[in-house]
Every structure is written in structure tokens, then in C-alpha cells.
């Protein structure tokens, strides 16, 4: 869909923030994606919107502030998109592909490099096969003690290698957890 009625504001205001509901609609247009999918499936959480597009997923952060996370500004959403990629590549390097610019060019949304002002950022991920999700495995009785042990071993190794210091430990304090 065209967003022409907003494009003039971009030229006037460098701090223009696109209305999130308009962006949600624009990102449901299959024509804007390099994959050229037949359709776009949208999933939402309290903090993100995910656009399932062929073999990829584009995940944007909602402009929200819950205290324990603050994605209000575009700069913060950019920062946390990059942080999500860095952090999650530690366990799934083949899934987290990078961060994609979302631009407004000639009144239309465009993904990736090019001209036009950046209105949002998205984490680009490989789409995981639905039949390999834990809820599906549980429903089919495929979650065995051996599967759980492999998961536990992977998580334990991850935590053994994780950096720690007093600042990091402070996030686990009872009063911080209660606040969050």
C-alpha cells in the first residue's frame, strides 16, 4: 500500500516516526520483499511483530517501553535489533542473518539498502520448519528424555561459557525481577 500522505513529512522532519499501525499494514505487502512470496503471515508478541515470508522471517520491535525493555526510539530499536543478532548467533548462527533497513522511498516501504529515509529496522532470520517446533514434537510424543538431555547439555554449555560480572549478576536480584 502507498504511504504517500506521510512521505512529505519525511522531507520536513528528520526525526519523523512512522505510525506503527501503518507500518504493520505496509509490511504485509508481498511485493516489497526480495523473496516475492505469495503472501505474508504476521505474528505478534507484546514486544515484536514477525513477518513470515517464504524461507525468511523479518522481525520488528514495537515502539513500547515496559521498563525492563525500552524500544520507544528508532535508535533504540536499531541497537536492540543488532544486539539480538549478536546474542542469538551464539546458539543459532545459521538462523540470525542480520539487520535490514526499512525505508520510505517515494511514499512506499522498501527493504534494504538504497535511497529513502529509514523508518524502521528488522532482524532477518531463516524461517525454521514448523514441524520441528517443540509444541509439535510434544503433540506427537517425540520429546524423549534423550531429546531433553541434548537441550539441557546445550544450555548448560552455553551458560558455562557466558560472561559474568557484578553488573550482570545484579539483573538476577529479587527486587529487579519483581520490578520487571
Alpha carbons 62 and 48: distance in angstroms, whole number? 5
With bands split at pLDDT 50, 70 and 90, how would you rate the model's confidence at 179?
confident
pLDDT tens readout for residues 121-169? 999 999 999 898 999 999 999 999 999 999 999 999 999 998 899 999 9
Q: Give yes or no for a contact between 98 and 113, defined as CB atoms under 8 angstroms apart.
A: no
pLDDT tens readout for residues 2-56? 343 333 333 333 334 578 999 999 999 999 999 999 999 999 999 999 999 999 9
Q: What is the model's pLDDT at position 107?
A: 86
Amino acid at each position: 500500500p502507498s504511504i504517500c500522505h506521510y512521505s512529505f513529512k519525511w522531507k520536513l522532519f528528520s526525526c519523523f516516526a512512522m505510525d506503527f499501525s501503518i507500518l504493520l499494514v505496509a509490511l504485509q505487502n508481498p511485493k516489497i520483499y526480495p523473496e516475492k512470496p505469495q503472501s505474508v503471515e504476521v505474528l505478534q508478541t507484546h514486544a515484536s511483530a514477525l513477518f513470515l515470508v517464504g524461507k525468511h522471517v523479518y522481525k520488528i520491535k514495537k515502539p513500547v517501553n515496559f521498563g525492563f525493555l525500552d524500544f520507544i526510539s528508532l535508535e533504540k530499536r536499531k541497537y536492540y535489533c543488532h544486539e539480538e543478532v549478536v546474542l542469538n548467533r551464539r546458539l543459532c548462527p545459521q538462523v540470525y542473518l542480520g539487520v535490514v533497513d526499512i525505508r520510505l522511498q517515494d511514499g512506499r516501504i522498501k527493504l534494504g539498502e538504497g535511497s529513502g529515509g529509514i523508518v524502521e529496522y528488522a532482524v532477518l532470520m531463516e524461517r525454521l520448519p514448523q514441524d520441528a517446533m517443540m509444541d509439535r514434537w510434544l503433540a506427537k510424543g517425540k520429546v524423549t528424555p534423550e531429546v531433553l538431555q541434548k537441550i539441557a547439555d546445550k544450555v548448560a554449555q552455553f551458560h558455562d561459557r557466558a560472561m559474568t560480572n557484578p553488573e550482570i549478576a545484579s539483573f538476577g536480584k529479587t527486587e529487579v525481577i519483581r520490578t520487571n
